[in-house]
């Protein structure tokens, strides 16, 4: 009877522990830091690795799933050739100071860099594997900037950026994840961790040690951005995520509570983003390549590529500056942050089209940034071609409300525009247009308010009214 009671108490304790982990973080240090992160609004992401030499999707082309197209290539040869790309990766034109200065000019405030993608190739100084830019097997190891992550962190930190490190929990190069003894039918571990617990523990220790390197060797890191959502504890699996576990549905738990405690030893306010594993260790959520239709009841960030591909593709099709700015405004109006990705070339340069876009974004942000940074949503958030943000009232100032009018390519701002929404309580006596001196008047209309502008406003992308 005592033994049965002990088992029941253990099960209750495990259940309560799991329930605690499914709830959002309530540590006031972390919640305050999340609010500070929400003030930043606009971040820069880079997917960069040895795969840039082929101009193919990062890592995924060596994964054996039906949706992946290798153009009919023999899989074994393709995989072997891909995994040997470390021997030719030599980005001698890599200049992180230029990247950081450009991102700052574009109005970005934080950076997230891919230290290791699913293929396992490390873009930093790791002692856990020789599969990295600092090992002699990589020709770039002789370069003074071989610790690419370290160089990026230093350059962006010097420009005042928050620093974020992307890390893949999966590692398709590690012998204790994709073991050589068995086939690899999909993205998941190819053996049963419950049947081979020692092997899985070795992989878990390897992952722990690599994350320790990243969070202990590069100063005060602000964001740990973890990818590979199929590696997750059993309690977190639901109807959405179960298909990610593939044909065998192996549970792949790497003990995030232990990892998080270690990662915050030197960085107690570190934000952890264990993507898609909702709860304590997903401090904000990251919808990928999409923008929610409306506000979300939790902190969030749209991560999106500037082109069609996350990684470098020479002939990639990039979004227009107009599209990027509209996305930024729409995301911020709905309470989110925008993490915009560019894939550097194998030589270590940002693509010229991306550079041009960032210069153009910066020109707009220089005029209108006050309506983006440190703002929060305000009703009605979105209405037709209008978007709204606010700087809430504080001890040092009154509330400011910003109304964005989204201009199409080549569109001229009309001298009279109707806002079909409630503007009750706003300062309609002294409105102004950011960056322009035109006089503006507001009067009530049947369905809302009519804004009249005296003279032409030669603006692009979006015009911002301050009330």
Considering only 246-255, 416-425, 433-442, which range has the smallest mean pLDDT?
Answer: 416-425
Q: How confident is the model at residue 425 (pLDDT cuts 50, 70, 90)?
A: low
Structure tokens at 48: 């960069």
pLDDT digits (tens, 9 = 90+) for 318-366: 999 999 999 999 999 999 999 999 999 999 999 999 999 999 999 999 9
pLDDT digits (tens, 9 = 90+) for 238-278: 999 999 999 999 999 999 999 999 999 999 999 999 999 99
- CA gap 168, 226 in Å, rounded: 6
Considering only 170-184, 283-297, 417-431, 448-462, which range has the smallest mean pLDDT?
Answer: 417-431
Q: What is the mean pLDDT of residues 450-464?
A: 95
Q: What is the mean pLDDT of residues 4-20?
A: 47
- CA count, 13 A, side-chain hemisphere, 45: 26
Q: How confident is the model at residue 8 (pLDDT cuts 50, 70, 90)?
A: very low
381 to 150, 178, 387, 404: CA distances (angstroms): 40, 47, 6, 10
pLDDT exceeds 60 at position 16: no
- CA gap 357, 318 in Å, rounded: 9
pLDDT digits (tens, 9 = 90+) for 277-311: 999 999 999 999 999 999 999 999 999 999 999 99
More confident residue, 18 or 343: 343
- Please report the pLDDT score of residue 18 as a whole number: 54
Q: What is the mean pLDDT of residues 313-320?
A: 97
Beta bridge partners of 271: 223
Structure tokens at 353: 């089209």
- Please report the pLDDT score of residue 306 as a whole number: 98
Structure tokens at 361: 């974004």
- CA gap 171, 179 in Å, rounded: 11
More confident residue, 402 or 427: 402
pLDDT digits (tens, 9 = 90+) for 142-161: 999 999 999 999 999 999 99
**Number of residues in the chain:** 467
Q: What is the mean pLDDT of residues 425-451?
A: 87
- Please report the pLDDT score of residue 3 as a whole number: 45
- Please report the pLDDT score of residue 5 as a whole number: 43
Q: What is the mean pLDDT of residues 388-411?
A: 90
Q: Which 3-state string (H, E, C) describes the chain? A: CHHHHHHHHHHHHHHHHHHHHHCCCCCHHHHHHHHHHHHHCEEEEECCCHHHHCCCCCCHHHCCCCCCCCCCCCHHHHHHHHHCHHHCCCCCCCCHHHHHHHHHHCCCCEEEEEEECCCCCECCCCCCCCCECCCCCCHHHHCCCCCHHHHHHHHHHHCCCEEEEEEECCCCCCCCCCCCCCCCCCCCCCCCCCCCHHHHHHHHHHHHHHHHHHHHCCCCCCEEEEECCCCCCHHHCCCCCHHHHCCCCCCCCCCHHHHHHHHCCCCCCCEEEECCCCCCCECCECCECCCCCCCCCCCEEEEEECCCCCCCCCCCCCCCHHHHHHHHHHHHHCCCEEEEEECCCCCCCCCHHHHHHHHHHHHHHHHHHHHCCCCEEEEEEEECCEEEEEECCECCECCEEEEEEECCCCCCCCCEEEECCCCCCCCCCCCEECCCCCCEEEEECCCCEEEEECCCCCCCCEEEEEC
């Amino acid at each position: 009877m005592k033994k049965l009671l002990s088992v029941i108490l253990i099960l209750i304790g495990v259940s309560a522990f799991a329930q605690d982990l499914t709830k959002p973080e309530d540590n006031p240090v972390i919640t305050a830091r999340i609010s500070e992160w929400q003030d930043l609004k606009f971040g820069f992401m880079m997917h960069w690795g040895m795969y840039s030499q082929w101009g193919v999707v990062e890592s995924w082309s060596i994964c054996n799933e039906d949706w992946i197209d290798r153009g009919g290539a023999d899989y074994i040869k393709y995989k072997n050739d891909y995994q040997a790309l470390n021997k030719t990766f030599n980005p001698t034109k890599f200049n992180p100071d230029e990247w950081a200065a450009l991102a700052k000019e574009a109005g970005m405030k934080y950076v997230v860099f891919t230290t290791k993608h699913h293929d396992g190739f490390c873009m930093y100084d790791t002692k856990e594997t020789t599969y990295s830019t600092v090992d002699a097997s990589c020709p770039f190891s002789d370069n003074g900037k071989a610790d690419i992550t370290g160089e990026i962190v230093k350059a962006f930190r010097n420009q005042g950026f928050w620093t974020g490190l992307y890390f893949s929990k999966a590692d398709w190069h590690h012998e204790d994840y994709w073991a050589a003894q068995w086939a690899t039918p999909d993205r998941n571990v190819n053996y049963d961790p419950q049947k081979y617990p020692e092997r899985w523990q070795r992989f878990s220790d390897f992952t722990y040690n690599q994350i320790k390197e990243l969070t202990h060797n590069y100063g005060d890191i602000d964001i740990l951005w973890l990818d590979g959502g199929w590696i997750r504890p059993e309690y977190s699996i639901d109807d959405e995520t179960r298909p990610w576990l593939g044909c065998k549905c192996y549970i792949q738990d790497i003990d995030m509570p232990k990892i998080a405690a270690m990662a915050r030893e030197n960085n107690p306010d570190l934000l952890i983003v264990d993507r898609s594993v909702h709860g304590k260790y997903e401090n904000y959520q990251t919808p990928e390549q999409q923008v929610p239709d409306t506000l979300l009841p939790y902190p969030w960030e749209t991560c999106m590529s500037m082109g069609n591909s996350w990684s470098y593709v020479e002939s990639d099709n990039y979004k227009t500056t107009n599209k990027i700015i509209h996305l930024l405004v729409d995301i911020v109006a709905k309470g989110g942050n925008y993490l915009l990705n560019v894939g550097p070339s194998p030589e270590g340069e940002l693509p010229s089209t991306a550079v041009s876009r960032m210069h153009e974004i910066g020109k707009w942000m220089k005029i209108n940034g006050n309506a983006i940074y440190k703002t929060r949503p305000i009703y009605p958030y979105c209405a037709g071609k209008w978007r709204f943000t606010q700087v809430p009232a504080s001890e040092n100032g009154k509330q400011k409300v910003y109304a964005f009018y989204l201009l199409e390519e080549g569109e001229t701002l009309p001298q009279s525009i109707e806002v079909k929404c409630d503007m009750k309580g706003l300062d309609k006596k002294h409105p102004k247009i950011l960056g322009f001196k035109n006089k503006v008047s507001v009067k009530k209309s049947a369905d809302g308010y009519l804004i009249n502008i005296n003279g032409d406003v030669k603006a692009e992308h979006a015009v911002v009214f301050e009330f």
